Amino acid sequence: MVVSSSPTGIKNCKCLCVVICSLPAMRAALLIQRWYRQYVARLEMRRRCTWNIFQSIEYAGEQDQIKLYNFFGYLMDHFTPNNICRNVDWERYFCYKSIEVPELYSGPHLSFPITCSNAAELVEAFKNKQQLHSRYVLQLLGETWRLLRILPNISQISTSHSKEITICGDLHGHLEDLLLVFYKNGLPSSDKPYVFNGDFVDRGKDSLEILLILFSFLLVYPNDVHLNRGNHEDHIVNLRYGFTKEVLGKYRLHGKKILKLLQKIFSWLPLATVIDHKVLVLHGGISDTTDLHLISRVDRHKRQYRSGMTESDLEDDDPTSKPVDSSRRRVHSLTHSSSTGTRHEVQRRSLQGLNNRVTCSVEEELKERRRQAGLSQSYGDLRNSLANSDSDPDSGELLDSYGDEWKQIVDMLWSDPMPQDGCVPNEVRGGGCYWGPDVTEEVLRRHNLTLLIRSHECKQEGYEFCHNRRVLTIFSASNYYEVGSNRGAYIRMGPDLVPHFIQYQANRATRALTLRQSVGRTERSALRALREKLFAHKSDLISSFQEYDPENTGLISLGHWACAMEAVLRLGLPWRVLRSQLVGDTLDGMLDYQLWFRELAITEPNTEVRLTNTQTLLETMYKHHSNLETIFRIIDTDNSGLISFEEFRQTWKLLSSHLQTEISDEAISDLAVSIDFNKDGSIDINEFMEAFRTIGGLPADQLQQGR
């Protein structure tokens, strides 16, 4: 064969050699690319499973909260000193003038009327972990309350070519997120208007600081700072999700006054904001009956309870409140007792029996309290009325027209969009509704709107479109479930009404994590929360497992395990996918479910007392620990953090009676003694709750998989 020695021939040979030599490298690159895509896909699947766990548990907790909403409201109305300003001037009760600021106080000082420099100084002070004195807190809240009373239910704002409107979603006590938004976007001003779309409080540790910052800017720029109410701007919800505990911990002396004033402020927050008559901004969503014209006229501060009471019924002591329409039925609160007593007696009024009747039953206790209040309805009748109301917090005994008005407000605060057409009750959260694209189109068309911006749902990227881009969810609390679980975002919108998104991660540690580390960390946190849920339903799960084990072998198939898990927990989770994270070794595909429960690594107190229905008191504690903590916060009237054995017993009796669960006095007493760690006859609420937390985790080899 003759090989050409021409330059062209040599060049072609060199190219051929390069191609031949590069083939292995190309194959290796393709293999690496394929492996990486599979790796990222597996991480994404784990992240989505983790997200489903967090969201399912969160919504299950909200559903439980709503089911007991009126029960908690009943306790608040009847066993806390809400009537302390019944016979005194309301303004004098909340007056700050008698509170002196000591010379040693090194925090921020406010002057009123508050100025933009005051507001900016407050931001800087909270950034440096300083605390505002209670005198200034009460003064600031009082000024905010007076302003909110004159604001409409639906705020109207306009854009211009010279300024854009910034819209923030849920903050949930994440002060670092708010500070980051201000750093990136600038402080609120007449040239930089803001809309904050509710859920400022709960879950995070700096809810009060967020409120004080927002209220200060609202007072300075009432036409340029707009606050919409969220479903967590609610004093009953705050009992469970941390805000009440936060305020009482930071302001032990004046915390009760601050909370009472905030309760009134929350009821006066506007419900929605409309931008340029085209963009509707509200916290939760809409329903097929949403009527903005009706919502604009409703008395938003008249909070309705299931028993037929409105918040105005609970505020007869407020001389500035508007009179209630005589056509509406009034149901008086037990807090408006005609009996009198000293302030000390009022503050110590709790679940302990009057006249030291510590042996009386719950029914007798409540009957006596109602007799003193001049009411005849028995606790049994009340309990039946509460039970018949099921999980609907909107129903009441007011006129149907007012009930319809209140339902519209609940829908705005609690509803979520769904991909299917229609409008159905939101059984997942327990309040509001799910609405579909057809409802969105109809409501927007009816009110000549083009876009609905809402919050209320955590989104992994901080925002999400749905319903043909006619509905936009914005969520501003990054790292909501766990560090690295989600980004936060806010919207900037100009006169073209096109939303522009700015995303962020407020936690610096998050930015240093790799994708695998971030997913692993979040996954471990989600599985820990799920294991607590499993232990809380241990008896129910074992009963369900035994249905698949008729011969009592102690073994079931993994398929039956997945079916039983969903049948009992109803979380809608992909149990077959989660199986590798929750279940260790199996024998020929069969699971030893008793051994599996022992491997969940739940720490148990030494004392375990059996209930009459074969459940353990410990298991019942895990199932209802959030509800119990809520009740403890209610009856701890002096904010000491301690409750007596008798208050502990009455708490259990009240909750078990409402839940129709039989618990003996002996079992409750034994538990109280076992968790009285220093044997002083009182129970520390925080230590009590910590005694029933999950610690530890999955076997080490499974934990290694998430690192």
Closest CA to 625 of 600, 602, 606: 602
The single residue of 232, 456, 537, 560 carrying the catalytic annotation is 232
Residues paired with 592 in a beta bridge: 555
Peptide bond connecting 113 to the previous residue in cis, omega within 30 degrees of 0: yes
- Residues linked to residue 282 through DSSP beta bridges, in sequence order: 272
Phi–psi pair at 503, nearest 5 degrees = -105, 160
- What does the alpha-carbon distance between residue 217 and residue 114 come to, in Å, rounded to a whole number? 9
| Tokens (6 digits) for 499 | 């939303």
CA dihedral 273, 275, 276, 278 (to 10 degrees): -90
Reading the block at residue 86, the tokens are 């019944």
Token duo for residue 222: 């009432």
Closest CA to 287 of 162, 174, 385, 407: 407
- Residues, the chain, total? 707
Tokens of 115: 């100025």
CB-CB contact of 617 with 605 (8 Å) = no
Is 226 one of the annotated active-site residues of the chain?
A: no
| Separation of alpha carbons 54 and 533, rounded Å | 11
Phi, psi of 34, deg, nearest 5: -65, -45
Residues 6+ apart with CB under 8 A from 138: 94, 95, 96, 99, 254, 257, 258, 261
- CA 142/CA 312 separation, integer angstroms: 18
Beta bridge partners of 309: none
Q: Which residues contact 476 (CB under 8 A, 6 or more apart)?
A: 168, 169, 170, 171, 174, 177, 178, 181, 455, 462, 488, 489, 490
DSSP 8-state class, residue 330: P
Helical packing angle, 243-250 and 255-268, nearest 10°: 140
DSSP string, 255-322: HHHHHHHHHHHHHHS--EEEETTTEEEESS---TT--HHHHTTS-TT-PBPTTS-BGGGGGTT-TTSP
Contact 548, 532 (CB under 8 A): no
Q: Please name the amino acid found at residue 682.
A: S
Give the residue numbers marked as catalytic.
232
